[in-house]
Structure 1
Amino acid sequence: MTATAPTTKKVFGLAWPIAMNAILLQLILVIDTVLITPLGEESLAAMGVSASIAGIILGLLFAFSNGTQLVIAQAFGAKNNGLVSRGFRSGRFINATITIIGIVLIFTVGKQLIELITDSDEIAAMAYDYLRVFSFVTIGVAISQNITVYFNATGNSRIPFYANIIEIPVNVLVSFIFIYGYLGMPELGLTGAALGSTIAVLCRTLFLIVFYSKQQQNVVEDGASKEAKLTKEDVLYHLKYATPIAGTFVSAVLVGSICMMIYAKLGVYQFAALTLIAPWVKVCGQLSTSWAQATSILVGQLLGNKSWGLVDGFVKTTWRISFFIGIAIAFAYVCMFYLFRLIYPELQQETVDTLWQFVPILFVVAFIRTSNTFCGNVLRAGGDAKHVFKIHAYTQWFVILPLSVLFVLYWELSAVWVFALSLLEETIKSIPFHIRMLGGKWKKSLV
């Protein structure tokens, strides 16, 4: 058993690379939006349509990878190298399966799906060209995200961060060259942004593969046994415990993607505003998500090591700190809007006016969402993922999705009303989250 609980310094040391890693991942779409804004609102709308479809595949990959992270964290806390290896290899197999299915679907029914989403033939054509190239991003994400959660769960979160430092400049440079046709390259427009993202993600993947291979060589040199052949039982065992965790993320991605398809009916300027704000909201929100994930990893290690007596004090300390993180996020949201005119000078005034209406909603959401995110991650760390899944799924499918249909397709309300649904969602979730958290049952539901 562990003699002392992890210090705040240790949580921060694990959290900041996770935060930067997540922010840099979100910047893939932010970079694309900045670079293609001069092409016009139609290009922004086309990218939004493509992102709503690609987001389903990427969401599945991130979802199951988060499940893998929990399994590996508890196995690492229990000092069971065999279970760590089996968890990693099972996660890799699952990610590969998702990617193959996703790419096949994009190239077979992707075009028809895009045509159902948008009424504009021009936007549909641009969206499909972007999606076909961007689909190869999923290959790199499938591999790199599995390695990333392995390093996170074993307390070495800086390596994925360094990988992303390499990815971002590659993304900017290559995307810029192919979007506008510099250095003798063809001018590909929106498709060039997808190509830049693909090349950048593959660079990150190669970096992580190299470091993971070196780490495995050290494990073998230290006397650990080589990896056994992956079995069906390993994958099924992994799925049994990772699926409820993944289900939480899958539900959010599916509902979010369906809602974005509905929001495409709002009109090009209002939909462009929603498309523009989405990646920035995720970037700012990564401050709370990373703190919650770092806490959950250490909680998982404590529980895996059977150090139950240290969990309560550790969680209370990190929970209090999350309130101050919420304050930082709220002010980051406000500052973000003042930068939009500098970052996106080509935006139409109607789009800018719509964006400013989102400010008060985001300011309030920051506090509620930060606490909800903390609760959800800690509950999953203890193995209480099914309850977390129910809270998210019931709210999203039975409240947010029906209201989105009513607001847009029947009542024809503006984008600000649609965006206000995020505040309603977080308020509803907060009640069962905090009741379950304070109850303490989650600490006895170990994977």
Structure 2
Amino acid sequence: MLGMIGHTLVSFIDNIMVGQMGTAELAAVSLGNSFVFIAMSLGIGFSTAITPLVAEADGEKNIEKGKQTFNHGLILCTVLGIVLFLMILAIKPLMYHMSQPEEVVALAIPYLDLVAFSLIPLIIFQGFKQFADGLSQTKYAMYATIIANVINVVLNYLLIFGKFGFPEMGIIGAAIGTLVSRIVMLGYIWLLLKSKTKFKPYFERFSFKNIKKSILKKIINLGFPSALQMFFEVAIFTAAIWLSGVLGKNPQAANQIALNLSSMTFMVAMGLSVTAMIRVGNQKGLKNFKELRRIAFSIFILTFFLDIIFALVFMIFNQELPRIYVDEYDLVNQIDNLEVVSIAAKLLLVSAVFQISDGLQVAVLGALRGLQDVKIPTIITFIAYWLIGFPISYFLGKEDVYGSVGIWLGLLAGLTASGILLYIRFNYLTKKLINQSI
């Protein structure tokens, strides 16, 4: 959980520090990151294929099988990181044709260049992380993300505000902090894993001559649908950013605040989703399907109770949490800041409602990935987010209907539909496996 939160914490820190400069800067970070989040969802979603395959091999005590998955997965993650970076550079000009505020676009373009490049070390890091997760060694990725966040905070402070003789670079300083912290994060986890006895067999005698088309194909077949699942969810939240931008810079800044806070709680559920993927993958390797189902439901229940706590926090502190992101004593931007806080407070109430469905859907999705069931869940996520959620966001999110709140009501509908349908799928599959094993 802490390892997953670490990724979002970089964005959380950037948003708080940039928010002190004004709502236009905060909206620009939101717009720039919307492109990065889509690419990141594809990269991280694809890399998740490594975990259940390594976990299954670990359950079978088959080191060579796990090593092949790790080596092939790392190569694919490296190629994917470079491709995603180039893809963002190619589609960047779309910003000028999305009806976004001009001042926001002008700030977002140079910010995006640097943050997009940081995707390369981030996706390669994910390859190492998912491999370590598959061996049930989740703490090393946590250490790396903690160090990365410390570096990000320091560089943000020095470069955004120009402290201790450093130039005042604004949101470009935030982008540099993100890039450097992700490079350090990758270098650290590589050195750490390579030095540990448990991982040494997996790092020995690597050669490109040992790359096999069949293994690459297996990872791609599992990783591509997983990437699409994450893409469909992240893309609807990205669409919410763009729809908010049509309403103006203040609704877009408010949307970014609510989205960032919701992402923090979501990453807790995402951490439990990884746990479900690992443990279900282990039991699949052992062919113990009753224990597999028991473990999965234990994780679902834990996710449910944690999300109730988060929902209560959002409901009780919906007025106070958005104030973290803005400077209340900034008289020049005071009216804009008050509007942003007011809108974000309403969005957090909607977010409080979908905490439970959002957490459960990602936990169940992790369990299904552990079963290596990815094709049907991909169809389910597309239906839930784009045939149910997005149309509601689009029609209710217009300025003359419910505005920003309407956009988030669509998110609520999509996440709820996804949670229900994915649970039905998992329940059906596990009962079938148990009956077949009797």
TM-score (norm 2): 0.90
State the distance in 1 between where 2:53 and 2:73 align.
10
> 1:55 aligns to what?
37
Q: Give the superposition deviation at 1:274.
A: 0.4
> 2:54 aligns to what?
72
Q: Give the superposition deviation at 1:166.
A: 0.9
SS of match in other structure, 2:48: helix
Q: Give the superposition deviation at 1:160.
A: 0.8
Answer whether contact 2:194 2:200 (CA < 8 A) is retained: no
1:312 paired with 2:321, answer no
> 1:38 aligns to what?
20
Residue in structure 2 matching 1:327, options 285, 301, 308: 308
Q: Deviations over 1:285-326 (max 9, x none)?
A: 222222232122111111112222422333333333333222
> 1:244 aligns to what?
225
Q: Deviations over 1:125-145 (max 9, x none)?
A: 210110011122112202211
> 2:424 aligns to what?
435
State the distance in 1 between where 2:225 and 2:290 align.
26
> 2:7 aligns to what?
25
Q: Give the superposition deviation at 1:381.
A: 1.2
Residue in structure 1 matching 2:191, options 210, 214, 233: 210
1:127 paired with 2:108, answer yes
Answer whether contact 1:382 1:443 (CA < 8 A) is retained: no
Q: Deviations over 1:15-62 (max 9, x none)?
A: xxxx11111210111111111112111111111110111112211111
How many residue pairs are counted as aligned between the two chains? 424
Q: Give the superposition deviation at 1:375.
A: 1.9
State the distance in 2 between where 1:308 and 1:95 align.
31
State the distance in 2 between where 1:332 and 1:65 align.
32
Aligned CA distance change for structure 1 residues 331 and 405 (closer, same or farther; 3 Å): closer
Q: Larger deviation: 322-331 or 125-134? A: 322-331
State the distance in 2 between where 1:81 and 1:395 align.
38
Amino acid corresponding to residue 88 of structure 1 in structure 2 = F
Q: Deviations over 1:92-135 (max 9, x none)?
A: 2222222222222333441x112122443332121011001112
Aligned CA distance change for structure 1 residues 96 and 186 (closer, same or farther; 3 Å): same
State the distance in 1 between where 2:101 and 2:403 align.
20
Ranges in structure 2 where 5+ consecutive residues have no aligned partner: 329-335
Q: Deviations over 1:309-354 (max 9, x none)?
A: 4223333333333332222221232355323324533461111111
SS of match in other structure, 1:357: helix
State the distance in 1 between where 2:87 and 2:279 align.
38
State the distance in 1 between where 2:252 and 2:60 align.
48
State the distance in 2 between where 1:200 and 1:219 align.
26
Aligned CA distance change for structure 1 residues 368 and 206 (closer, same or farther; 3 Å): same
Residue in structure 1 matching 2:388, options 383, 399, 413: 399
> 2:370 aligns to what?
381
State the distance in 1 between where 2:400 and 2:325 align.
33
Q: Give the superposition deviation at 1:76.
A: 1.7
State the distance in 1 between where 2:18 and 2:199 align.
44
List 4+ stretches of structure 1 deviating above 4 A. Answer: 409-412, 441-445
State the distance in 2 between where 1:405 and 1:399 align.
11
Answer whether contact 1:64 1:91 (CA < 8 A) is retained: no
1:422 paired with 2:411, answer yes
Q: Larger deviation: 48-57 or 377-386? A: 377-386
Q: Give the superposition deviation at 1:217.
A: 8.5
> 2:332 aligns to what?
none
State the distance in 2 between where 1:336 and 1:247 align.
34
Q: Deviations over 1:177-216 (max 9, x none)?
A: 1112223222211111000111111111111010122237
Answer whether contact 1:92 1:142 (CA < 8 A) is retained: no
Answer whether contact 1:57 1:98 (CA < 8 A) is retained: no
State the distance in 1 between where 2:198 and 2:372 align.
31
1:356 paired with 2:345, answer yes
Q: Give the superposition deviation at 1:239.
A: 0.7
Residue in structure 1 matching 2:85, options 93, 98, 103: 103
Aligned CA distance change for structure 1 residues 109 and 296 (closer, same or farther; 3 Å): closer
Answer whether contact 1:56 1:257 (CA < 8 A) is retained: yes
SS of match in other structure, 1:253: helix
Q: Give the superposition deviation at 1:374.
A: 2.4
What CA RMSD, in Å, does the superposition of the two structures yield over aligned residues?
2.4
Aligned CA distance change for structure 1 residues 113 and 442 (closer, same or farther; 3 Å): farther
State the distance in 1 between where 2:218 and 2:422 align.
27
Aligned CA distance change for structure 1 residues 390 and 308 (closer, same or farther; 3 Å): same
Q: Give the superposition deviation at 1:429.
A: 2.3
> 1:160 aligns to what?
141
TM-score (norm 1): 0.88
Ranges in structure 1 where 5+ consecutive residues have no aligned partner: 1-18
Amino acid corresponding to residue 230 of structure 1 in structure 2 = I
